[in-house]
Amino acid sequence: MKRRIEKLSATTALAGSLLTLGTVACSPDKSHSVEAPQDRVGRCVLAASKLAILEVMNSPRTVLEHDPTGGSFDAYVYGSEFSSVVVDTSVPDQTTLVYSVNVHSGEPVNYNAMGRVTLPVNADSVRQALADIKPQELSAEAVRQTIQSKSSGITLGETINKKRHVIAGAKTIDSVGDDQNKATADCAVVEDFTEQLQQEYDS
């Protein structure tokens, strides 16, 4: 774990160097080089959240639990990590995915991705629509329409006495404000989360 946090610090330092040279780290499309910090982190969080949601929905370890009331809130539950994706179809012609995806939840230090992604499709098409999203090609406005900035983010935290304390990351996309340095650090956390997610959920 210590090694991972050291690696994360190094990644943040590298991203900071790139920022000084005028390149936006964590944004594959270089045309976003003057992107606002919040939009930059929104793009990073959307890309990582897309992968996290699909990992949970597609895993053979996941159970689909139907809304016991017969309503609009079925849930995909990945039990071994206490991760879930709730499929909200309460609004006609759109589907909202409310997700909480954990990595290394059995350790004192762990990652959590949480938030809401909304797509203008019905529930039968939402998985494919999500898979087709290319965050690096979306406009900043399209990113904001897809992922809710007030509730979505990825954090690195530590559980002490059953209470989780945030160590680093975008508690929400909104929390970045106009701080370019924080955007760099948050995108580094998101990048490391994505690597750990793929190692753990693909195993």
Q: Which stretch of 100-114, 116-130, 185-199 has the lowest confidence by average pLDDT?
A: 100-114
Q: Cβ distance 75 to 84 under 8 Å?
A: yes
Give the mean pLDDT of 30-59. Answer: 89
> For residue 107, what pLDDT band results from cuts at 50, 70 and 90?
confident
Average pLDDT in the chain: 85
Provide CB contacts within 8 A for 190, sequence distance 6+: 26, 41, 44, 45, 47, 48, 154, 169, 170
Confidence (pLDDT) at 30: 44
> For residue 33, what pLDDT band results from cuts at 50, 70 and 90?
low
For 1-14, what is each residue's pLDDT tens digit? 555 555 555 444 43
Confidence (pLDDT) at 82: 85
Provide CB contacts within 8 A for 119, sequence distance 6+: 94, 95, 97, 126, 129, 130, 133, 146
Query: What's the pTM?
Result: 0.83
For 76-104, what is each residue's pLDDT tens digit? 999 767 899 999 999 999 999 999 999 98
Q: Where are the beta strands (DSSP E) in the chain?
A: 62-65, 73-78, 83-88, 95-103, 109-119, 153-160, 163-170
Q: Does residue 116 register a pLDDT over 70?
A: yes
Q: Which stretch of 103-107, 117-121, 149-153 has the lowest confidence by average pLDDT?
A: 103-107
